Chains A and B, each alone.
Chain A
Amino acid sequence: MNWKTTATAMGLALLASTGLARADGVLNIYNWGNYTSPDVIKKFEAKYNVKVTITDYDSNDTALAKVRQGGTGFDIAVPSQTYVPIWIKEGLIQETDPGKMENFKNVAPEWANPDFDPGRKYSVPWAWGTIGVVVNTDAYKGPADSWGIIFNTPDELKGKVNVVPEMGDVMFAAIKYVGGQQCTDDKAVLKKVRDLLVAAKPNWIAMEYNTIEKMGAGDFKATSDWNGSALRQRLANPAIHYNYPKEGFGLWSDNVVVLKEAKNVENAKLFQNFIMDPENAAGLSAFHRYANAITGSDKYMPADMKDAPEVIIPAADKPRGELQQMCSPETQEIYTKIWTELQK
């Protein structure tokens, strides 16, 4: 075994040194952790003779704070749709006009002209997904297509439910459950939301991100979660099912943008164009397990994703999906107070 690792290490070192020697340029990507397909990156490096580096971040706020300080050396970042307008407003990213790029014709119509970047002047879709409810059907066999699993937990699941602690997502779900609109500042609705959350919490076991492992091991029997995470859980345990809540569910999308301080703007543009190619988009999806917004990528998708209910929203559920927005700072402040009250 030992000679094998040594050989691999030596091979890698060799590969790295030669790659460095012949690369025409570099591209520095700043992206969420465990999100970038190494295969697609290798293909990009080979095609354009560019050496790519990838640095991880763990939240939109981290990425925003770091890039705002400047001097990061990154060319590309991948903020979520709620944050893209902030990046634009704060002058952190540049207009690369992806809407005019060669491969833009592949972008699915519903993602070609989004509210967060009208006319796609800055951003290229990387991945999109939904936030719903995951239930282990060995523990609970009843209807699960509702946020009620989280907020009005059935007896079988009491003390076994996890909630992913994304404030925006939880507030969105709770507001939908009491019948309000996202980003509402209606005090009557928010009071209901607060009471709902506070009353629901004793039935939760945890508020954690690490759902794939914990659902798999059985520490949790249900959780709120992202669809790609739910897909991985089902592949590990077929009894685990993803549900689109009937009260309405959130849609999100992460987008590739080019920083204003980028030093390798041309390579960054090449990359934006490159990932709008159906085969490459499918390659990204095969790794991060989320849908891409590229038409024609389905035929290159891995078999276990082609008709996965987590990735392809059933036609009946589709109308209830709603792209999540960034709430105003004043509303956000109220949400933070409710959130603190919930976790106190």
Chain B
Amino acid sequence: MATAEEVAKAAERRDVRDRWLLSAPALLVIFLAATGPLLIVLVYSFLTPGSYGDVKWQFSPEAWVSVFLERDIFDDTLSIAAAHVTIFLRSIKLSVVTTIATLVLGFPTAYFMATRSEKTRDLWLFLITIPFWTNLLIRTFAVLQIIRNEGIVNTMLLKLGIISAPIQILYTDTAILIGMAYVYLPLMVLPIYASMEKLDFRLVEAGYDLYASRFQVLRRIIFPLVKPGVIAGSILVFIPALGAYVTPSVLGGGKNMMLSNLIELQFGQGRNWPLGSALSIAVMIIVMVALLAYVRNAGKSGVRHG
């Protein structure tokens, strides 16, 4: 008995070793391509800014201090970095609202797609992916052409006599939201569609047979079953939205910074690379914590239904 156990253990050990060896190339690539550059960013965040960009190889925690605290330039008192907090909150708020907007638009879209016949489904899927063929910048400029004062929407409303002066949409928060929702919608639709496609619609019929209302069917049957898709979609939208750069700049007019603009400023005109690095790492940590909390919470309530 004991020997058999040992043999099994040895085999298992060999198995583990082989797995490590086999995955070594992939791990190496991940280290070089993903972790390595991030480590450089981390190291830079603890250095002293060079006079004209770049860094001096001198340890300094100053960058991390100024992520959260700022020394008032006029009375020299330390206080919470209000400007940074405002910018962080603006970016987070925009990401949350974008996620909600894409969910509200994307859920019915995915439902519609999943309930078509097998043949036409592919066509709808194809249509959803078309925007990906075009560069993000071009898609954003297309939205700009539609909503600007001399754009399609305003010109049409003016011609129809519904309004007498163009509505200022461009350069407002609404403009940013329209652009973001448009750009990120496919990222929400596709995962929801993927789980919706697997949904057994006989369960829905069963629900109706048991006198459930349409809303009850949606809330108690469809939504719990496609929840993994909703979670995946929300994550896929939320994270890139937090770092969005092009869309807020082009449609928002660049008056109010987003996180990405703040970081870019440090590497460009601000010439403070360590602060830029520290801000980038801080964003990553926040995203990670938020994701962990979200996934755990979402998972818990999922169990109750299961």
Contacts and interface: CB of A to CB of B under 8 A. Distances in A.
Whether chains A and B associate is: yes
B207 interface: no
Given A217-B148, A339-B270, A344-B83, A207 B73 contact: no
B261 interface: yes
A61 B53 contact: yes
Contact of A336 (B256, B257, B269): B269
B255 A204 contact: yes
A155 interface: no
A86 B53 CA distance: 11
B149 A329 contact: no
17 contacts: A61-B269, A65-B54, A86-B52, A187-B73, A190-B74, A204-B255, A207-B253, A217-B149, A329-B49, A332-B270, A338-B73, A339-B270, A340-B83, A340-B87, A340-B270, A343-B256, A344-B82
A61 B268 contact: yes
B280 to A, nearest CB: 16
Interface of B: 49, 51-54, 70, 73-74, 82-84, 86-87, 148-150, 168, 170-171, 253-257, 261-262, 265-272
B70 A337 contact: yes
A167 B269 contact: yes
B221 to A, nearest CB: 46
Nearest to A163: B255
Contacts of B148: 217, 219
Contacts of B254: 165, 206-208, 343
Classify chain A's interface size: 35 or more
Contact of B53 (A64, A336, A343): A64
B73 A205 contact: no
Interface in A317-340: 329, 332-334, 336-340
Contacts of A162: 253
Nearest to B266: A336
A91 B37 CA distance: 27
B271 A340 contact: no
Contacts of A61: 53, 267-269, 271
A205 B49 CA distance: 33
B73 A217 contact: no
Contacts of B272: 333, 336
A100 interface: no
A191 interface: yes
Contacts of A341: 83
A342 to B, nearest CB: 9
Contacts of B255: 201, 204-207, 343
Interface in A120-172: 159, 162, 165-168
A64 B70 contact: no
Contacts of B86: 344
A269 to B, nearest CB: 26
A206 B171 contact: yes
Contacts of A334: 73
A116 to B, nearest CB: 14
Contacts of A64: 52-53
Given A59-B268, A207-B255, A329-B52, 20 more contacts: A61-B269, A68-B54, A159-B168, A167-B269, A191-B74, A201-B255, A204-B255, A205-B253, A208-B253, A208-B254, A218-B149, A219-B149, A333-B272, A337-B83, A339-B269, A339-B270, A340-B84, A343-B254, A343-B255, A344-B256
Interface in A292-333: 329, 332-333
A327 B36 CA distance: 35
Contacts of B84: 340, 344
Contacts of B150: 217-219
B253 A206 contact: yes
Nearest to B258: A343
A110 interface: no
Interface in A51-75: 59, 61-62, 64-65, 68
Q: Please name the 10 residue pairs, one residue from A and one from B, whose CB atoms are nearest each other, closest first.
A: A206-B253, A344-B83, A336-B270, A207-B254, A343-B257, A167-B269, A329-B51, A344-B86, A61-B268, A86-B52
A206 B255 CA distance: 5
A176 B149 CA distance: 33
Contacts of A62: 268
A340 B265 CA distance: 9
Contacts of A338: 73
A343 B270 CA distance: 13
Contacts of B149: 217-219
A68 B270 CA distance: 17
Given A217-B150, A341-B83, A344-B87, A329 B271 contact: yes
A275 B83 CA distance: 46
Given A65-B54, A206-B254, A329-B51, A187 B74 contact: yes
Contacts of B267: 61
B72 to A, nearest CB: 9
Contacts of B49: 329
A262 B56 CA distance: 26
B269 A190 contact: no
B83 to A, nearest CB: 4
Scoring B73, B83, B84, B148 by chain A CB atoms within 10 A of each residue's CB, the highest score goes to B73
B73 A219 contact: no
B52 to A, nearest CB: 5
A336 B274 CA distance: 14
Contacts of A207: 253-255
B48 to A, nearest CB: 11
A333 B49 CA distance: 11
Nearest to A167: B269
Scoring A165, A329, A340 by chain B CB atoms within 10 A of each residue's CB, the highest score goes to A340
